[in-house]
Amino acid sequence: MAGLPRDSGDARDTVVTLARSLGVAASTVSRALRGDPRISTKTRRRVEALAAERGYAPNVLARTLASGHSGLIALSLGPISNPFYVELMQEAVIQAAARDLRLLLLHAGAGPIEDQTAQTLLQYQVDGCLITSAELSSHAARICAVHNVPVVMVNRVPKLHASAIACDNFLGGQDLARLLLGGGHQRFAIIRGNPDSSTSIERERGFAEMLKNHGIDFDLRINGGSTYEGGFAAGRMFAEMPRDRQPDAIFAVADIMAMGVVDALRIGGIRVPDDISVVGFDGIAQGAWPAYAITSVQQPIAAMVSRGLDLLTARIGTSTVPDEVVLLRGELILRRSARLPVRMAA
Amino acid sequence: MAGLPRDSGDARDTVVTLARSLGVAASTVSRALRGDPRISTKTRRRVEALAAERGYAPNVLARTLASGHSGLIALSLGPISNPFYVELMQEAVIQAAARDLRLLLLHAGAGPIEDQTAQTLLQYQVDGCLITSAELSSHAARICAVHNVPVVMVNRVPKLHASAIACDNFLGGQDLARLLLGGGHQRFAIIRGNPDSSTSIERERGFAEMLKNHGIDFDLRINGGSTYEGGFAAGRMFAEMPRDRQPDAIFAVADIMAMGVVDALRIGGIRVPDDISVVGFDGIAQGAWPAYAITSVQQPIAAMVSRGLDLLTARIGTSTVPDEVVLLRGELILRRSARLPVRMAA
DNA sequence: CTCTTGCGTGCACACGTTTGCAATGCTTTA
DNA sequence: TAAAGCATTGCAAACGTGTGCACGCAAGAG
């Protein structure tokens, strides 16, 4: 397939052509470039010099065939209507490149990973699989398990066989509840994301438990689907409630929903935070926009990706390392969408 | 993972193992699966049946080595603080999968594509390169040219040797100007994106030319860097101007900037669109949020990606197809951020 | 009945790299 | 001085797939 009319500069260098030019064996070139200590410093220098001069780039595909490792990580993104996953992706691209890993973009969107997609996991001999809050079908999970492809889920604790890295959502929920309690709030509401996801469940659990510890219960619990629109719809519902039934503090378990809530409340003539405080979770960049200024828990994205890749690389090539779940502490970010405790506002 | 020490089903099927089970040659299996007409229907059926039963997935890397085509498309994303690129990415993932192409995520972010990144283009033998408004360094461009890797830029017309697909930004700019003129606006301002990008330049040119045709000139031209923050800063500047100098219509060449403008104006006590109309460009989902309702030109994302992949696939394996630039017409979306012409408002 | 034609299949090699093992030459030790 | 050790390099086989070529076999033509 080199091309019928023979493309001009088509002669892509290989280990063999380099070796021929140097008068050595191909294996010597290969070892020199891989840093094999058996090659003399002198020869290595010569090889490296010529490789640099010719702009030689090893054919990773051929390497994979021989060595079994492709350096490819399959990346599966969750619903990107939530900017959090986009930030996660960008961080993943940067850090993967720094580790000399490449990302194969398998899936992006709300739905589950299709079986056909899982096939390409195998076809491309990916070394591992990084999944951010998308559903991995049991079929796909089995494929990974059988073929010994490690799986790490970011921002979601797996039901299936896989490692995971996530923010400590429970503690984060508690932090927000404590903050709102300190601000003197009394009637609470929560807007869930995907009610099945561990992320949403844990945040709610931490929030509710902390309130319960202070003798407060609440039953305003709405599903918002982790979208702006879901948050907006919920906010509209609150805005239309009779004033004495309205909550005075709303916890949307994702910032993107909190933004929808804020918009809906304002359109409904309700002041934020004077009438109702709103807090979110994730710490997305948009939450800092002056029009919103969402008080939130910032997820440590860089650390999550970094530790996630650690988990992955530690499991590549071995089946002896057991699965692991790592929780990282998020950081409370105070902004104007929630009334502060008196002492903190001072 | 599957078993504790020894991987049980680890024996990944290959053409050879299938051939052995069937008592035929490996080449026969290969040909049968590739749909070679020389293989008898009967044999093909047998091969296909066994392949399906065993869940055989061909090793694409080995295929690449032999055939020269990897089925990999390198994807380079622009600054993802602009949601437009995220929408573009999602569409690309979907359409690439449908065409049996895989996306190798090379770059994401504002900066130019690094030279080291360009190396991986070669290492992974990508068939082509899809670039959405990120700068391709001249070094990287040369690498692609020399090694005959076709490059298609989406949403940007290249200075370098490459094909391109974009919205007709000039016409879109004209449409917006015509709309604002119809709405009775008289004093105009524009907020540019990246002042070097063809996208920003063309939109501005179409806008200014249409105004000029109606005898209107304007000199309020500000750089907003295609970010929310840039738009916000510009909006603040407008809000602080003396009332009689203020524009009554602002064109932000990207929706994300228009959102910043709207926020800044409102915070400054200016009503949109009663005092000042704001229009954007791109048609991102966030622009439809009730709090913004940005009048805009919707880029035909699906068609852009589709035609972009067309351009790419047509150039894979040949160096004879000349570069091509395709412009698609965008669609005017009327929302509440701009006063409408009387007849249209009726 | 023989020769040609064409269909279906197998053999062998190529793609570019890695890697176990052998071979070379040189230094060290007994 | 010979044997053994070490450092350095080459040879050749593998990884899994695609493909040019040749081979065997049956059917049709003369």
Residues 6+ apart with CB under 8 A from A49: none
| B103 contacts chain A (CB < 8 A) | yes
- Mention the CATH class of domain B169-299+332-345: alpha beta
Q: What are phi and psi of A104, to 5 degrees?
A: -100, 115
For residue A132, give the amino acid letter. T
Q: What angle do CA B6, B8, B11 make, to 5 degrees?
A: 105
pLDDT at A344: 52
Q: Do domains B8-58 and B169-299+332-345 have the same CATH topology?
A: no
State whether B65 and A62 contact (CB < 8 Å). yes
pLDDT at B144: 85
Strand D nucleotides, any atom under 7 Å to a protein CB: 7-12, 14-20
pLDDT at A346: 44
What span, in angstroms and rounded, lies between the C-alpha atoms of A86 and B80? 7
- A179-220 residue pLDDT tens: 999 999 999 999 999 998 899 999 999 999 999 999 999 999
* Strand arrangement of the beta sheet that strand B249-252 belongs to: B220-223, B188-192, B249-252, B277-279
pLDDT at B4: 25
| B60 contacts chain A (CB < 8 A) | yes
**What's the CA–C1' distance between B26 and C6, in Å?**
23
- The C-alpha of B181 sits at a distance from chain A's nearest C-alpha, in angstroms, of 29
How far CA B35 is from CA of A215, B47, B98, in Å, comes to 70, 11, 19
- Mention the CATH class of domain B8-58: mainly alpha
CATH of domain A71-167+301-329: 3.40.50.2300
Q: Which of residues 249-268 of B touch A (CB under 8 A)?
A: 260, 263-264, 266-267
Mean pLDDT in chain A?
90
Percent of chain B with pLDDT over 70: 95
Low-confidence ranges of chain A (pLDDT < 50): 1-9, 345-346
* Cβ contact B113:A143 at 8 Å: no
pLDDT at A11: 63
In chain B, what are the domain boundaries?
Answer: 8-58, 68-167+301-329, 169-299+332-345
| B75 contacts chain A (CB < 8 A) | yes
* Cβ contact B218:B288 at 8 Å: no
Dihedral sign computed on CA atoms, order A257, A263, A264, A265? positive
B115 vs B152, higher pLDDT: B152
CATH of domain B68-167+301-329: 3.40.50.2300
